[in-house]
């Protein structure tokens, strides 16, 4: 079987992921996921055009591509909560495409949390629950 090359593989894979997820979350959650993926797609296209990421393919994205997206979102002064949601969504999409780049990026870049708490952890943009807290 011959694989077709598309101009916008992120959008194509996001649509496949959304089709797979249809009916699993609530309708409101599904719409939010769709909206978030469309925005991330536009931002990834812009970063690719600027040469800041290597590919638009969720199957081929690297930890460096994910870090470039994280730095872009931070530079836009996006809230830590929104960044956490974006990276959760990206992790789901990339995992759906057998790619662990988000988790690899998290492990390679232990920095202070985006919430400014000064806590150190293995994740630069997603807060982990602590003992005794709810997830």
Structural domain boundaries of the chain?
A: 9-108
Q: Does the model's pTM come out above 0.85? A: no
User: What are the beta bridge partners of residue 120?
Assistant: 112
Say what the pLDDT of residue 2 is: 47
Neighbours of 55 (CB within 10 A): 14
From the list 22, 32, 20, the residue with the least C-alpha distance to 93 is 20
The radius of gyration of the chain from alpha carbons, rounded to an integer in Å, stands at: 15
Averaged pLDDT of the chain:
80
CA distance 87 to 85: 5
Q: Which pLDDT tens digit goes with each residue over 41-95? A: 999 999 999 999 999 999 999 999 999 999 999 899 988 888 888 988 999 999 9
């Amino acid at each position: 079987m011959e694989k077709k090359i598309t101009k916008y593989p992120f959008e194509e894979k996001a649509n496949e992921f959304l089709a797979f997820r249809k009916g699993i979350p609530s309708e409101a959650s599904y719409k939010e996921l769709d909206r978030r993926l469309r925005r991330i797609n536009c931002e990834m296209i812009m970063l690719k055009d600027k040469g800041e990421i290597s590919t638009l393919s969720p199957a081929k994205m690297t930890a460096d591509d994910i870090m470039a997206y994280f730095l872009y979102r931070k530079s836009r002064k996006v809230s830590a909560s929104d960044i956490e949601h974006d990276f959760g969504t990206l992790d789901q999409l990339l995992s759906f495409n057998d790619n662990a780049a988000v988790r690899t990026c998290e492990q390679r870049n232990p920095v202070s949390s985006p919430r400014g708490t000064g806590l150190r952890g293995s994740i630069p943009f997603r807060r982990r629950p602590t003992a005794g807290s709810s997830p």
